[in-house]
Amino acid sequence: MTKKDDDIAKGDEVSWRSHGQEVPGKVTKKITDRTEAAGRTVDASKDDPQYEVESDRSGRSAVHKPGALHKKGDRS
């Protein structure tokens, strides 16, 4: 069985929920270490990665866990 985050890669078109709306954007980076990203400390690891994404609408960056991201065309 493959983990869901194995399906997400840099450049993928994804969407996520923010303030009750679906936000489209792209994955800009997979984060696998504790680091600063999108204006906050991200406590990620190789076993628990997070993804930096950029909103198509605002151009702003955010960081999400794989479970919060939905690949375009993938509604599972």
Q: Determine the pLDDT at residue 17.
A: 96
Residue 37 lies in a domain: yes
The number of folded domains in the chain is 1
Average pLDDT over every residue of 24-36:
97
pLDDT tens track for 53-65: 999 999 999 999 9
Residue 8, φ and ψ in degrees, nearest 5:
-105, 135
- State the CATH number of the domain containing residue 15: 2.30.30.1060
Q: Determine the pLDDT at residue 1.
A: 32
**Domain enclosing residue 64, as ranges:** 4-71
Residue 43 lies in a domain: yes
Confidence grade of residue 72 (pLDDT, cut at 50, 70, 90): confident
Lowest mean pLDDT: which of 32-41, 48-57, 66-75? 66-75
Residue 76 lies in a domain: no
- The position carrying tokens 């890669």 is 9
Rounded distance between C-alpha atoms, residue 44 and residue 8, angstroms: 15
